[in-house]
A and B are shown apart, each in its own frame.
Chain A
Amino acid sequence: MKKVFCIITTLSLFFQSAFGQEAFSLRNDTLRAARVVSERLLMSAAGEHIVSLPSIRVKVSPGGDFDIIKQIQTLPGVSVGAEGSSSIYARGGNIGNNLITIDGIPIYGSSHLLGLTTAFPSEILASATFRLGGFHGRDNNLTASHIDLRTRDGDFHHRNISAQASNFLLGGSFSGPIVQGKVSFIGSLRLSPVAHEYRLLSGILPGPLDSLRNVGAMIYDLFGKTTYEISPRQRLSLTLFHSHDSYKYAYSGGDHHMGWSNFVLHAEHSLHTDSGWTIQNGIAFNRFLNRQGVFQEMSHTINDLSIISSLSEISSDILLTKSIGRKGLFQAGASSRVAWFNPGSSSNYEGVSAFTPSSVARTDHRSKIVVNNINMQYDIGSDAEWYHLMASAKANIILSYTDPDGKARFHMNPEGSILLSVRPFKWFALEGTADWTVQYYHTLEGLPLGWSLDIMIPADSKRGPEKSGQLYGGLRLDLKKHHVNIGAFVKRMSGLLYFKDASRLFSSSLSGWSGNLDVGEGSSRGVEFLYDKEGERVQWQISYTLSKTDRLFPTINRGERFPAKFDRRHIINTSLMGTIFEVGSVTGGFTFGFTYQSGHHETVAIGEYIVTPPFGGEWFSVDFYGGTNNYQMPHYMRMDAGVYAKIDSRRQHTIKLGVYNLLNRHNPFTIMYDSSAMEWRTISLLPIMPNFSYSIEF
């Protein structure tokens, strides 16, 4: 734990940056005919929230640049893992049950800087939609939520360059025409100087940072998108996204390293036909890789003993859309995805001995899965009408090559979602969703810090897909500038995996993960409340969630139900943004945020007894527990505040100053027993953290 604490504390001692820039005012709503009003922090309908990107960019965040995940963590129905992390537990689901996509392509390693921020630069995003229910036909391979990120096209007519600087991230972006009116390009590059800053800081502040030596890090992300407008009705785009996180350090006599990376290449074509059909099709390559290990000198050479997990996908899809009458919209689509997994494979066994047959790969977990999906969706009405009905249905036809005999196994899993909203009065609507979803990738979760080190495995004959059934019902009030959503949900999950020996994630024995999994179920129910007030100068948002989530696994907790780790009974989030002054080209404003959350659950030993190994060997103590997740941690509370100034002259300057955790409350993350001091201790992660950032656009 000292190692984790040192890493997190070190990062938190730097001044944090708030968000990069406010580069545009385009809002690309995905709700049909949604009302775009003057200034709202978000717009919500049944099961769906559209986050206003410009509005949240001035908010305070611990991880540097603009962070859509941090905003989603303040919405109802969402519980957070470790403080400052990028982990999301939506309506009782696990981290791996959330789908994050950029232009429809899944991103499996979404975090940067050890979970403190995300790998997506703000400049590339046109819209961000967080969907908790009423899932669309194209939303695939999820059982909790969909974070649907859409990127902008480059500007076809004007050039726009921006640069941002903060203590954690340096970046720049470009948007402009390559061929005026025909071909545009948008690109972004961000780098983190955190390794250099650590070396500088460790020279100034020795002591707390002495445990870690030879710290190195390489963190960057790169995005580029070229769009060719073939005609007013036809468009072709080619996108590349690459993010990379790698860390190394010397600790306790060993040289350790860990990291993860994403690489996405995506081509998309769209066509509007004379008969009113819109045809969108695309093809993509997606590779996610994470690794951890240690450098070991053997026979005078440095050997890299790594545990590597990789997932590579090739996918193609087509979606046909047509308006039906004045109010209806029909969509039909199909996709095919081939995925190659190699989870937790090890280089431990290089050099086959005379006694190990060469055909045996002791730690080879390679497998392949082919997922074919057909989907349909029908919408009639909209949120602007007095009714809105959406129904989507899909079927996943899966061929999995995961069994040792190499033969393909066939599975078919239907899914469906219904959304209904009825507005008898202009200011009052009743709404509800029903969802049956299936997920055929499992994530073996480790630390809830949002580090993208979890390994992913496909569903197979031993561990089938995860399934979820969810109902939501509520009402919505729109009273001029005040908007209220109140609702309740109930959810059942099956096929959940419990990684019984998650500590293997930091051990050479990770390659033996396959024998440490249990399959079980979970349930969650709750009440969600959201209030937001729009305004030209001041915007409010208050959200509250009351919920209960549990788990049940046959070999855990003696087969009895136990609370989920991040089952937080009460979650309150408030945020306030306002303009203080507008003088000429200078605008000044403030942001404020407050959160109160019930403590999460830990498993704490209530006693111990000795075990004597057979035939020699010293006895050792083992703990015993009253139950799994038997201890509730103290509540979590945090206040953030910040001010910003925008200077809109020939060049647009934005300066932000903020304080994360203004109260300097040491919110406990976990509790552990210090056997040398013979006492229990809590560990907290993030203290008070001032931050600033500067951006320029021209």
Chain B
Amino acid sequence: MPIVVSCLIIHNPEQSESAQHLDLFYAKPKGVGENVPIEDASVRLFATQQQYEFAHVGNGRWESTVPVKTNDLDSYVLKIDVPGHETITAKTSVPHPFEILPGTYIPGTIVLSDHIKNAHGESYSPSHKLWIFAHKDASHNVSYPYMITSNAFADDFNVTSLRFGDVDYSAIPDEDYASFWSIKRAKQNNIPEAPLHEGGFIRIDLPDNYDNCLDLDSRHGLYLGSSSEFMVEAAPLECKGNRITGEEHLCILGVSDEYDRFLREAFSHWGKINHDLASLYSYDNIYTNIQGGFGIFGACCIVTMDIY
């Protein structure tokens, strides 16, 4: 069976050194048995001026023996040697950092900064495909099932037929109703018809990929800067008896191209497999940049933001 690698380099400017993790498994026949972890291998990560070794810590998880230092635009090469298999290689690069700011014109919105400075003090305009995840707490372990946005470049691929107006607020106690920020904001924003995105995330594409009858300059203007404040809401869908705190902890990833493609195809596949008619269609392997195996070696920059 093929070897599957899963490794994501996360660049957080607030924490530029941390242990790097990697998962290494064998794929398995369909519907048969459990995933088989690979415990005997040589795993090495090559950065611009450094090489990192990995050690197996259990259940197919490998960890770098020393913290990995990440920088903007650094390139990395991964090499894995598993006895009896050809060498597995992959490469990726850390994308530009970006900055998300609170909106200034309308409460509850955010905006992608139109120019920031990199580590060398040079100004640039970020151009990222963004993945926005919303969690119910600061540990980022529990996702909201649905999200909505007013961003003009939100990818439709995980859109459902449900609308924000479908969210069931009937169980909210009266004393909490007035303080339920989602309803207030939705009414302010006049978006009851906005569709729900499933999977607990929203993908924001690049303006160049959108054919929405605007010219390129207008599209870029919408994507960046103060004219493009957009709202991102998480929809709990059911609030039966649970106290709603209104907390929304966003993880916003600016991803490398290969990680973006992998995530999109993996989530598309996930959305299809349980659908009566969609499951009839031909499939292709989801994208991989692993030479000699499956999975992904990607990189991202991360920004977190808490909204109350």
Contacts and interface: CB of A to CB of B under 8 A. Distances in A.
Interface of A: 1-4, 254, 294, 296, 298-299, 305, 348-351, 353-357, 359-365, 404-405, 446-447, 500-509, 511-512, 514-515, 556-558, 565, 602-603, 605-617, 620, 622-625, 628-629, 670, 672-673, 675, 678-679
A341 to B, nearest CB: 13
A602 B282 CA distance: 7
A610 B31 contact: no
Most buried by B among A503, A505, A557: A503
Contact of A502 (B209, B263, B281): B281
Contact of A624 (B191, B282, B285): B285
Given A364-B213, A404-B211, A622-B269, A556 B150 contact: no
State the main secondary structure of chain B at its contact with A: mixed
Contact of A509 (B141, B151, B157, B211): B157
Interface of B: 1-2, 4, 6, 8, 23, 25, 27-32, 35, 106, 109, 131, 133, 135, 140-143, 150-152, 155-163, 165-166, 188-195, 199-201, 205, 209, 211-216, 218, 222, 229-231, 251, 253, 263, 266-273, 275-286, 294-295, 300
Contact of B30 (A603, A616, A623): A623
A4 B160 CA distance: 21
Nearest to B231: A355
A292 B28 CA distance: 38
Given A3-B277, A506-B275, A609-B295, A355 B270 contact: no
A506 to B, nearest CB: 5
B277 A506 contact: yes
Nearest to A446: B281
B190 A353 contact: yes
B35 A610 contact: yes
B280 A4 contact: yes
A614 B32 CA distance: 26
A501 B211 CA distance: 18
Given A404-B211, A607-B2, A348 B195 contact: yes
| Residue with the highest number of chain B CB atoms closer than 10 Å, among A305, A355, A503 | A355
B28 A615 contact: no
Given A509-B156, A607-B30, 11 more contacts: A1-B277, A351-B190, A360-B152, A364-B213, A608-B27, A608-B28, A613-B267, A616-B140, A625-B285, A673-B31, A675-B31
Contacts of A351: 190-193
Nearest to B265: A622
A506 B284 contact: no
B264 to A, nearest CB: 10
A355 B195 contact: no
A298 B192 contact: yes
Nearest to A499: B281
B234 to A, nearest CB: 12
Contacts, number: 219
Contacts of A2: 276
A668 to B, nearest CB: 13
A613 B134 CA distance: 13
A356 B276 contact: no
Contact of B152 (A3, A296, A356, A405): A356
A355 B30 contact: no
A629 B282 contact: yes
B109 A355 contact: yes
A427 B268 CA distance: 60
A615 B142 CA distance: 8
A616 B272 CA distance: 21
A624 B269 CA distance: 11
A506 B143 contact: no
Contact of A609 (B32, B35, B109, B188): B35
B283 A623 contact: yes
Nearest to A605: B30
From B2, B25, B276, residue with most partner A Cβ within 10 Å: B276
B35 A298 contact: no
B25 A361 contact: no
Contacts of A629: 282
Nearest to B190: A353
A1 B163 contact: no
B152 A359 contact: no
23 contacts: A1-B276, A3-B276, A296-B162, A353-B231, A355-B109, A359-B213, A360-B212, A360-B214, A365-B211, A404-B212, A447-B280, A506-B275, A507-B159, A512-B156, A512-B157, A603-B284, A606-B30, A609-B294, A610-B35, A613-B201, A616-B133, A620-B270, A623-B273
A672 B279 contact: yes
Nearest to A553: B284
A4 B163 contact: no
Contacts of B276: 1-4
Contacts of B278: 503, 506-507
A511 B142 CA distance: 30
Given A357-B222, A615-B135, A673-B31, A628 B282 contact: yes
Contacts of A605: 30, 283
A624 B192 contact: no
A299 B218 CA distance: 34
A298 B209 contact: no
A558 B150 CA distance: 36
Contact of A616 (B27, B141, B157, B229): B141
Given A294-B161, A673-B31, A615 B277 contact: no
B25 A4 contact: no
Given A1-B280, A354-B106, A356-B150, A616 B142 contact: yes
Given A405-B215, A615-B251, A622 B165 contact: no
Give me the 3 closest cross-chain CB pairs, A-B, nearest first.
A503-B278, A355-B150, A512-B156
B152 A362 contact: yes
A234 B256 CA distance: 69
Given A349-B193, A508-B161, A615 B166 contact: no
Given A362-B212, A615-B133, A353 B28 contact: no
Given A4-B280, A615-B251, A628-B282, A673 B30 contact: yes
Contacts of B189: 353-355
A354 to B, nearest CB: 6
Contacts of A624: 2, 27, 285-286, 294
A506 B275 CA distance: 9
A446 B281 CA distance: 8
B198 to A, nearest CB: 10
A298 B194 CA distance: 12
Contacts of A611: 6, 266, 270
B30 A447 contact: no
A124 B34 CA distance: 62
B142 to A, nearest CB: 6
A298 B141 contact: no
B296 to A, nearest CB: 8
Contacts of A350: 193
Contact of A603 (B31, B199, B282, B300): B282
Contacts of A557: 284
B291 to A, nearest CB: 12
Nearest to B139: A616
Contacts of B294: 609, 624
Nearest to B288: A624
A511 B266 contact: no
Contact of B106 (A355, A512, A628): A355
A298 B163 contact: yes
Contact of A298 (B155, B166, B191, B269): B166
Nearest to A365: B211
Contacts of B214: 359-360, 404
A622 B280 CA distance: 16
Contact of B135 (A354, A500, A616): A616
B259 to A, nearest CB: 9
Nearest to B262: A611
A291 to B, nearest CB: 14
A589 B151 CA distance: 68
